[in-house]
């Protein structure tokens, strides 16, 4: 007669079988790409990237929809070239071009004006906190010029600063967990307005914003670095951050008319607004 397994061993065996079953379900969900993983991969609470090889239509309140395509590196538009001078534009959804086609975003329009490749390194929702943690993957590709256009998301009102964001526990980042919760796209690029004056607390406080810019400048190596204070319809709200940006280095600070922004998404620029910004940046880059 076979002896019954000891209780501790039975518990261990049960846990192993449950873990293997969950791993199998997770693997099948990943193979089936279900539920829809959305635009982003990584940790939605601390460091996320655009998923590579995207091709989808994204709804927008003013544009109706716009197409998001990424390459194998998770970048919108062309990959970094392997030779010759090129510019890397780093920023959030305002650089990515939320609401417009890739060809209409200011990095692509700037490339046409300066006759040099401009790689769009905009990741919706990124502040300088995510850039310090994750932009090395593009800075190490050897750009000859880097444009740092972080500002809007750094000054964004927040309950707690980005620096204190706790990573999402791994079990909550699985497809199985996503299946069990309501399916909503992360609000990294949700249209909203900045307050008319600086918020009491922000995602990145002004002094840390300055320090993060210094870290990004150092990480750019021998590349020429251009600081771009992205225009907003609430300049008073971002004034402390622009002041710190100017302290970090020479800064381009274009001013655009209100018509350059979407009506119900006043953070982001229309296609013509991107063109006006590209023209201002091109003129600022001239010797």
Q: Where are the domains of the chain?
A: 1-32, 40-285
CA distance 193 to 47: 23
Closest CA to 281 of 232, 233, 227: 227
**pLDDT tens string 223-237:** 999 999 999 999 999
Q: What pLDDT, on the 0 to 100 scale, is given for residue 286?
A: 77
Residue range 40-285 forms a domain whose CATH class is alpha beta
**pLDDT tens string 178-206:** 666 665 555 677 777 888 899 889 999 99
Alpha carbon separation from 195 to 157, 186, 187, 210, 233 (Å, rounded) = 8, 22, 18, 21, 10
For residue 105, pLDDT over 80 is answered with yes
**pLDDT tens string 240-254:** 999 999 999 999 999
CA distance 12 to 181: 29
- Give 264's pLDDT tier (boundaries 50, 70, 90): very high
Q: At CA 206, angle to CA 204 and CA 207, rounded to 5?
A: 105
Q: What pLDDT, on the 0 to 100 scale, is given for residue 192?
A: 78
């Amino acid at each position: 007669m076979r002896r019954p397994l000891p209780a501790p061993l039975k518990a261990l065996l049960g846990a192993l079988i449950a873990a293997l079953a969950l791993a199998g379900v997770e693997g099948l969900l990943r193979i089936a790409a279900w539920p829809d993983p959305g635009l982003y991969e990584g940790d939605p609470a601390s460091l996320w990237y655009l998923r590579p090889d995207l091709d989808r239509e994204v709804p927008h309140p003013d544009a109706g929809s716009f197409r998001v395509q990424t390459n194998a590196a998770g970048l919108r538009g062309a990959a970094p070239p392997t030779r010759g001078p090129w510019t890397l534009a780093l920023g959030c959804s305002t650089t990515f071009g939320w609401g417009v086609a890739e060809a209409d975003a200011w990095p692509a329009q700037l490339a046409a004006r300066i006759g040099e490749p401009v790689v769009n390194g905009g990741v919706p929702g990124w502040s300088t906190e995510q850039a310090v943690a994750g932009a090395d993957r593009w800075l190490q590709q050897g750009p000859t010029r880097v444009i740092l256009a972080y500002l809007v998301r750094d000054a964004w009102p927040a309950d707690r600063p980005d620096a204190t964001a706790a990573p999402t526990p791994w079990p909550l980042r699985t497809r199985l967990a996503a299946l069990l919760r309501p399916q909503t796209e992360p609000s990294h690029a949700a249209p909203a307005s900045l307050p008319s004056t600086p918020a009491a607390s922000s995602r990145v406080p002004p002094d840390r914003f300055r320090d993060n810019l210094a870290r990004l400048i150092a990480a750019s190596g021998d590349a020429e670095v251009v600081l771009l204070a992205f225009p907003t319809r609430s300049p008073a709200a971002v004034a402390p951050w622009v002041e710190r940006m100017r302290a970090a280095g020479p800064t381009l600070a274009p001013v655009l008319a209100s018509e350059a922004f979407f009506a119900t998404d006043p953070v982001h620029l229309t296609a013509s607004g991107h063109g006006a910004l590209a023209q201002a940046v091109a003129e600022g880059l001239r010797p």
